[in-house]
Chains A and B, each alone.
Chain A
Amino acid sequence: MSRQASRFDSKKVNAEFLTLTYGALVTQMLRDFENVEDVNKQLERIGYNMGMRLIEDFLARTSAPRCLEMRETADRIQQAFRIYLNVQPTISNWSASSDEFSLVFETNPLTEFVELPQDLTNLRYSSILSGCIRGALEMVQLDVQCWFVQDQLKGDNVTELRIKFVRRLEDAIPAGED
């Protein structure tokens, strides 16, 4: 009955296992869709679906209240990266209106053993992360845009993920009795 015991003694997985599994997924998708843009789109979509579920786990673990401010959101996302990927991105480059910031990764666990071939420079290898953030935030009523501005795979020093607040989604009103 392993499921019963599994809850809070969070099971550790060797990070390499995730890296390689993710690599296999990306490889398979590159084979399935010839178009790199399609792969980017699919990775983003998978990430989105993951984020929608992952947020529940995150909220249950941390019992964090809803964010009222982007700075809180940034801290939470940073915390989530620590919990799920064991990396500590730095929060930086706030825009003047505080609605946009960057997460800077010294290392990206998803790309540990990865080198991008010349003909795949359009591939956003880690777009699963941006999808995930978008999906998770949408569940807590935050509509954001999320994209990579720097990527170690493309020769940059660090990987930088940019997050921009678009709008706050409204709580749904119950369907009326017309």
Chain B
Amino acid sequence: MTIYHLYIFDKLGTMMYYAEWNRTKKSGVSREEEAKLTYGMLFSIKSFVSKISPHDPREGFLFYKTNRYALHYMETPSGLKFVLYTDTAALNVKELLQQLYSKIWVEYVVRDPLWSPGTPVTSELFQTKLDEFIKQSALYSIRNI
């Protein structure tokens, strides 16, 4: 059991980064298409959740779960969106995403002068660090919230 794949979107919905680890089933559409669909779905869920919520939604949408996998969502106030697919038993993915943001994204993307805001990330250092980070965390089976 482990982490399947990760999307990072910016506030305009541009796919900034995609990485996969143990994803076995391909969606059958191109990566770009898939990213667009994912973003569209998340956007709809977000507005759905905020409209339908019986009280003021503080953090809004956090995750959804199917029988076979779970999707975890974190959005920063600056509109960056981290979307992580894990197995259904993963625990504390929220903290993991927060760490991913502050330790990997801010450190190796935001502080990289060669990255211009709003463009997909190509830095190899970021790729390596992200891979290490995910692999050493490798969330195993416990239940979320």
Chain A residues engaging chain B, CB cutoff 8 angstroms: 3, 6-7, 52-53, 55-57, 59-61, 63-67, 139-141, 171-175
Contact = CB atoms under 8 A, between A and B. Distances in A.
Interface of B: 11-13, 36, 39-40, 43, 58-59, 76-80, 98, 101-103, 105-107, 110-111, 117
Nearest to A67: B77
Nearest to A66: B77
Contacts of A64: 77
Identify whether the interface residues of A are mostly helix, strand, loop, or mixed: loop
A173 B107 contact: no
Contact of A174 (B43, B58, B78, B101): B43
23 contacts: A6-B107, A7-B103, A53-B110, A53-B117, A56-B76, A56-B105, A56-B110, A57-B106, A59-B76, A60-B102, A60-B105, A60-B106, A61-B102, A63-B98, A64-B77, A139-B78, A139-B79, A140-B78, A141-B79, A171-B79, A172-B11, A172-B12, A174-B36
A79 to B, nearest CB: 14
A52 B77 contact: no
Given A7-B103, A52-B117, A174-B13, A57 B110 contact: yes
Contacts of B117: 52-53
Contacts of B39: 174
Contacts of A61: 102
A172 B13 contact: yes
B78 A175 contact: no
